[in-house]
Amino acid sequence: MQVQKNVSLLNYNTFGVEVYSHNFVEVNEVHTVKNLIESGYLDQNYLILGGGSNVLFTKDFDGLIIRNTITGIELIEKNSHYLVKAGAGVVWHKLVEFCIAQDISGIENLSLIPGSCGAAPIQNIGAYGVELKDVFNELEAIDLETGMTKTFTKDDCDFGYRNSVFKNELKGQYLIISLTLQLKKKFEFNTSYGAIENELQNLGVEKLSPKIISQAVCNIRRSKLPDPEELGNAGSFFKNPIISNDHFLELQKSNPDIKYYTLEDGQVKVPAGWLIEKSGWKGQRFGNYGVHKNQALVLVNYGGAQGQEIYDLSERILKDIKSKFDIALEREVNIIL
């Protein structure tokens, strides 16, 4: 175990914000976590960091950054399904590619989502009609106070829309070491959400497969979302708000072009990107940061921006949406103040 001092986090957050951490350690094995606990390093303020794709640092971190790099993928075949177990440090899209290479369906709609497998259940990642909870089996995590390993079932995780128990009452208390998915042997494709069917038509697809749906999803995402290696961002910065049907009907009177998805419980999900674009923020640039020109959900760092500047921009957008639509947007990105 090697704890480094005053480490730049520029290459460890996809926003490309230049901040420093007082202490920094990489965890690639379970025993390293236990060594950290026994050494007393966790008595200070600490933050677990995976791919850094869902975090915005507004200043230097006065504590310990724990970068989770535990790897490995294991495939277990059962009678009716597969279990796919991945180390928390595995890049999520690498797990998607692994399943596609085995011709296993279930997570192809989640292609190209940035981040690590350990972060996926914390956020309950989702895209194009599929959420992690739909294929989740269990995860293993270490209690950072006792050093004991615990297995969490789906019920234990209390999954919600871009939410889980690890973002609430158990926040910062556990370090996830592995994630196991349960994927069906029989193909069950979901192509009805968003622009997938249109893209499949553009590709001239005659027979569906996990690989071709993944390609369609990747094509759509690349056309809308900037590559973090080329332009600093954390993907969707805001959650899509869920409002009552009555509230929606009132908005629809003055905004007949409003986009929406009716939920099973009668509530309505409104795309945050539509609200932000309708309010004139899309493509707005303020020096070296702004709102992406192709996707209003994405705040970007053109190079050299401070995290506080990006955070302040998000505040202005939140207030504007509230005043115009009486909708309180929520940030999807984890803000480190």
Pair type for strands 20-27 and 61-68: parallel
Quote the CA–CA distance of 87 and 204 in Å, as a whole number. Answer: 36
Output Rg (C-alpha) for the chain, integer angstroms.
20
From 140, 199, 309, 332, the catalytic residue? 332
105, 164, 236, 314: which one is catalytic? 236
User: Quick check: is 236 catalytic?
Assistant: yes
Q: Is 331 a catalytic residue?
A: no
Tell me which of 53, 105, 108, 162 is the catalytic residue: 162
Q: List, by residue number, the catalytic residues.
A: 162, 236, 332
